Structure 1
Amino acid sequence: MNRLHVEQPGALALVEDLGRPGFANLGVAASGALDRGALTLANRLVGNADGAAALELLVGGFRARFEGETWFAVTGAWGSVRLDGRAIAPYTAARGRDGAVLEIDLAERGIRYVLAVRGGIDVPAVLGSRSRDTLAGLGPEPIAAAQVLAIGDEPEASVPLLDQEAAFPPPAGAVAIALLPGPRADWFTDAAHANLFETEWRLSEQADRIGARLDGPPLERRIAGELVSEATVPGSIQVAGGGQPTILLADRPVTGGYPVIAVVASASLDAVAQLRPGQPVRFRHA
């Protein structure tokens, strides 16, 4: 059996796949990888099914040793990746020999790496998914130093040959995010809607897998009353009483009591996942 011996997990290392949709009626969010495109690409690079479980590494600072021999790929954030001290090109599949040490440095662009290994990370599934839900506490615990992770059986698909030129880093400057109208857009003034699209927002330090708060001018409500809790979806932009918007992400509560002024288009959610604290954000109409 191939295994991955984690020597240093970094800031936060989680097992994630494409999540557990379909349980909102039980109060369980879909969860799953925040950067779904990075997960899918990493899995395809090593011949896995798109939804195979991989590691989501916040910021980096990760080191692990291969026990057995297998292929791996690192996508998402952009930084130095080394195998036994030798640089590995980003967004490519590489062969990890038995005893080889993989090091992933702090990210230079973006904030979440995805590390996929051929066969996937083999941990018990909860409600059909191997993802960690940080709000509900479902799924495998965060990875700890000295933990040994089993790797699943070799998939039938071979490791494909892909053109390295397709790789590109997450942007370092302002990121454009597409928005759709929210279910409570009418609760906000015309000035609030103008500010939403004209302001250069910045990601605050209060950002995790549950939600990402943005710093900027408060968004004024037209309706000041309380809202009965209603369903949320990934990308919902809730506005609390103070007027600051928060983008709800994969581990969000499935219901919320703050009005949703807009919703991030699905195609822009991966970009939100790679935002760094202080990075500027501009919204546009989808």
Structure 2
Amino acid sequence: RPAAWGAPVRVRAGEVLEAGRACCGVRAYVGVSGGIAVDPVLGSRSTDLLSGLGPAPLTDGAVLPLGAPAAPPARVDVAPVPAPPPELVLRVTPGPRDDWFTPEALRTFTSRTYRVSPASNRIGLRTTGPALERARRQELPSEGMVLGAVQVPPDGTPVVFLADHPTTGGYPVIAVVHPDDLPAAAQAPPGTPVRFVAVRRR
């Protein structure tokens, strides 16, 4: 029987749960009461494909041990999850390397529309659109990166770092996206219009 998106479903022993393509956005998640009982690595049971840390990635036929439920089943029909918006508006705080870009590039960044690139993944939302010109030609030494950092690689198009982003990077970060706007960014399909809106530093 079909189940609504975001709805808790009771699956009995021997039954099969089939998860198809995401009907909204680009990713779907299956949560299990009690969690997945694999050995944690550095306090996490998730797999980091970029670093290779964590449990082995899933393969066909993999069997996952389940933990014991710690609470009664959810008493909701559907957990409300907003669908991705038709246009992605990302609030950004300029910096810390906005001084590495020309004044025209800074205006372009917050006034022109970009689009989500098909090359996007859980590491970063890549964009297509007008290139941002640097005011400095030298390269940065690698420095720490945070979730939501908007890094600008040599081709000049912004990349928003998402959940699986690297911990360091060597391209200048022109701004940082507000944390509340990142879930929508992670679900934005290729071709979605993207606008960056600057907010004041506190």
| 1:137 CA displacement | 0.5
Aligned AA (1:134): L
Q: Does 1:234 align with 2:147?
A: yes
- Give every structure 1 segment of 4 or more consecutive aligned residues whose post-TM-superposition deviation is greater than 6 Å: none
| Structure 1 pair 108–93 and aligned structure 2 pair: CA distance change class (3 A) | closer
Query: Quick one: which of 99, 103, 106 aligns to 2:21?
Result: 106
CA–CA separation in structure 1 for the residues paired with 2:36 and 2:26: 21
Matches within 5 A, 1:96-175: 96-155=11-70, 157-162=71-76, 164=78, 167-171=80-84, 173-175=86-88
Give the 3-state SS of the residue equivalent to 1:117 in structure 2. Answer: coil
| 1:129 CA displacement | 0.6
Give the 3-state SS of the residue equivalent to 2:109 in structure 1. Answer: helix
Query: What TM-score results when the alignment is normalised by the length of structure 1?
Result: 0.65
Name stretches of at least 5 consecutive residues in structure 1 with no aligned partner: 1-85
Q: In the alignment, which residue of structure 2 is the partner of 1:198?
A: 111
| 1:237 CA displacement | 0.9
CA contact (8 A) 1:134 1:209 kept: no
CA contact (8 A) 1:110 1:172 kept: no
Percent identical: 46
Encode CA deviations 1:172-230: one digit per residue, 9 max, x unaligned.
52111121112101111222122112222111122222222210000011222221221
Please provide the CA RMSD for this pair: 1.7
Q: Does 1:95 align with 2:13?
A: no
More strand by share: 1
Give the 3-state SS of the residue equivalent to 2:181 in structure 1. Answer: helix
CA–CA separation in structure 2 for the residues paired with 1:254 and 1:106: 30
Q: Which structure ranks higher in relative contact order (CA pairs < 8 Å, sequence separation ≥ 6)?
A: 2
Matches within 5 A, 1:181-192: 181-192=94-105
Aligned AA (1:277): P
Give the 3-state SS of the residue equivalent to 1:267 in structure 2. Answer: helix
CA contact (8 A) 2:85 2:184 kept: no
CA contact (8 A) 1:110 1:169 kept: no
CA–CA separation in structure 1 for the residues paired with 2:164 and 2:84: 24
Q: In the alignment, which residue of structure 2 is the partner of 1:23?
A: none
Name stretches of at least 5 consecutive residues in structure 2 with no aligned partner: none
| More deviation, 246-255/136-145 | 246-255
